[in-house]
Amino acid sequence: MTALRRPDGTTSSSRRVMEKVIYDFYSELFDSHVHLPPCHLREDGYVIPSVLPSEIRHAIKSVKSRTAPGPDRKTNIWRIYRQLL
């Protein structure tokens, strides 16, 4: 690595400055807290999913037919799943 952009937008090629930027970045990254949706665990140990089956059915049924795969990489295979639902 020959240079590194600092948070203020300036670029530095000083090894000491690059080490500090990297240290600060990863210190902040791993010190931050991630807010995840709550996971509800029932007494029988079953984990209630964050996505409901009805939401999955709706997503599959809303896909247009005869379309080429796009950036989401979905294909027309959804028709098979639609019949199962």
7, HSE (Cβ side, Cα atoms, 13 Å): 8
Nearest to 23 by CA among 7, 40, 42, 35: 7
Which domain covers residue 67, as residue numbers? 40-84
User: 54 and 28, same structural domain?
Assistant: no
pTM for the complete prediction? Answer: 0.39
* Confidence at residue 67, expressed as pLDDT on a 0 to 100 scale: 66
* Confidence at residue 75, expressed as pLDDT on a 0 to 100 scale: 63
Burial-class residue 39 by CB neighbours within 10 Å (0-12, 13-18, 19+): exposed
User: 27 and 46, same structural domain?
Assistant: no
User: 44 and 31, same structural domain?
Assistant: no
Q: Could you read off the pLDDT of 25-57 as tens digits, one per residue?
A: 888 888 777 777 676 677 787 777 778 888 888
User: 80 and 47, same structural domain?
Assistant: yes
User: 75 and 50, same structural domain?
Assistant: yes
Token pair listed for 39: 């996971």
Number of domains composing the chain: 2
User: 4 and 19, same structural domain?
Assistant: yes
